Structure 1
C-alpha cells in the first residue's frame, strides 16, 4: 500500500522534474532568454523572485528556471486548480480513477487553502520530496493519510487512501482487480504492525518507526533521487 502510494507520487513529480535530468548535463555558459523568465514581469501570475525561491527550496537558480519552464507548459497561467491537477494526474493513470488520490495530494500542496497551487507551493513540495530529510518525507506521507489533520491515523483513514490508490491504478493493479474486503484485510494487517501499543490509533512516532524499520517502505523513501 505504501509502496504503491509512493510510486504514484514519484511518477507525477518526476514528470515535471525530468528536464533537470536531461538538460542540466548540457548546460554551458550561454544564456537562454526564456530561462530568465522568472526575473521578468508576466501578464499573469508572477512567481516569487529566484533569490527567494533558492532560499526556500533546495534547488539552484538554474534548476528552478528549468522546472518553471516545464511547469508553465502544463499550467500556462502559473497556477493549478484542483480540477486541472486531477486531469494531469489522470493522464498518468488512464485506466483508473485518480480523483480521490489527486485531491489528497492537491490539498497537501495547497498550503494557503485557496483552491489553487502556485508554482512556489509546487516547488516547495518537489524540493522536499527530492532532497528533503527522512523526517520531512515521513511527515508529508503521514499528512497524506491524516486527511483531517488530527495528528493520528486510524484504520479507516488508511483504508480510504488504500482504496483510492487501487481505484487510481485500475487495470495496473496486481492482481488486476481487488475488492474492498481484501483491501481492508490488508490494511488491518499493516495497521496492527504500526499500532505498537494496540490502542486503535497510530501516532506519528509509531508511523515513523514503522516506515524506518519496514524494508519495503524504507526503500521507497529513497525513490526520490536526491541527485536528480
Structure 2
C-alpha cells in the first residue's frame, strides 16, 4: 500500500475518524484536500495510499486480518501481530470489524508521526480497552505483553510485563486510585522518555 510515510502531521484532535466523510473508490478533489488536512500527508501521498488501499480492498473496507498483515510490515523486528490487533481495535470505532480508508490513513499518520502528545492521546485510546476513559492494570498488562513480543523482549526475572505495569502505575498513578486517567498517562509519559518510548513504540 505504498511506501512508509515520513513524519506526517496531524490536525484532527482526539477522534481518529471524521464523521460524515463518505469515500468511494474515486476520490474527489475535495476528498483529497480534506484527507490531506486530516492526516498531514500531501495530496499526492493521499492518492498513492488510496490507490493501494482500493487495489487490496476493492470493497473499500479493510478487515482486521488484512490490516495486521499490512501494518506489521512497519515493525519488521519481533512479533507484531498482537500489537497490530490492538492498533486496529483503537481505530475500529464502531466495532464493525473493519476500517475504511479515512480511518486507515489516520492510523498510519498517528503511529508514524513524531509529535509526542498527539501520539500519546492515540496510545491512551489503545490501552483503554473497555473505553471507559481510564487505563486499568489488567488492560495495560495485555498491551504490555504485546509490546514485549513486538520488541523481542524476554519475559523473565525482573523484566516481565506485570512488573513493568507495576512500575508504570507507581510513577503515573498520582492520585493512587489504581487506574490512569488520560491526563496522568500523558503527563507521566511526557516527563519520562523511557516510558514514552516503551508505551508508544514508533513504526520504523
What is the TM-score when the length of structure 1 is the normalising length? 0.64
- Structure exhibiting the larger radius of gyration computed from Cα positions: 1
- Quick check: 208-217 or 75-84, which moved more? 75-84
The match for 1:149 among 125, 131, 153 is: 131
Alignment of 1:38-187 (within 5 A): 45-47=25-27, 49-72=31-54, 74-89=56-71, 96=79, 98=81, 100-131=82-113, 133-166=115-148, 168-169=149-150, 173-175=152-154, 177-178=155-156, 182-187=160-165
Say which SS state the counterpart of residue 62 (structure 2) adopts. Answer: strand
Partner Cα distance (1:123, 1:45) in 2 = 15
Partner Cα distance (1:121, 1:47) in 2 = 15
Say which SS state the counterpart of residue 117 (structure 1) adopts. Answer: strand
Q: Structure 1 residues 174, 149: CA separation in 2 closer, same or farther (over 3 Å shift)?
A: closer
Structure 1 unaligned segments of length 5 or more: list them.
Answer: 1-14, 22-43
Residue 14 (structure 2) aligns with? none
The match for 2:184 among 206, 211, 220 is: 206
Partner Cα distance (1:62, 1:115) in 2 = 29
- Quick check: 201-210 or 88-97, which moved more? 88-97
Q: Structure 1 residues 128, 89: CA separation in 2 closer, same or farther (over 3 Å shift)?
A: closer
Say which SS state the counterpart of residue 50 (structure 2) adopts. Answer: helix
What is the TM-score when the length of structure 2 is the normalising length? 0.71
Q: Structure 1 residues 205, 97: CA separation in 2 closer, same or farther (over 3 Å shift)?
A: closer
Structure 2 unaligned segments of length 5 or more: list them.
Answer: 7-23
Partner Cα distance (1:165, 1:110) in 2 = 20
Q: Structure 1 residues 155, 218: CA separation in 2 closer, same or farther (over 3 Å shift)?
A: closer
Partner Cα distance (2:201, 2:152) in 1 = 22
Q: Deviations over 1:135-171 (max 9, x none)?
A: 32111001110011111111111111112233x44xx
RMSD (Å) for aligned C-alpha atoms = 3.6
Partner Cα distance (1:57, 1:89) in 2 = 17
Q: Deviations over 1:12-56 (max 9, x none)?
A: xxx8542x56xxxxxxxxxxxxxxxxxxxxxx8445632332343
Residue 11 (structure 2) aligns with? none
Partner Cα distance (1:94, 1:73) in 2 = 27
Partner Cα distance (2:54, 2:156) in 1 = 37
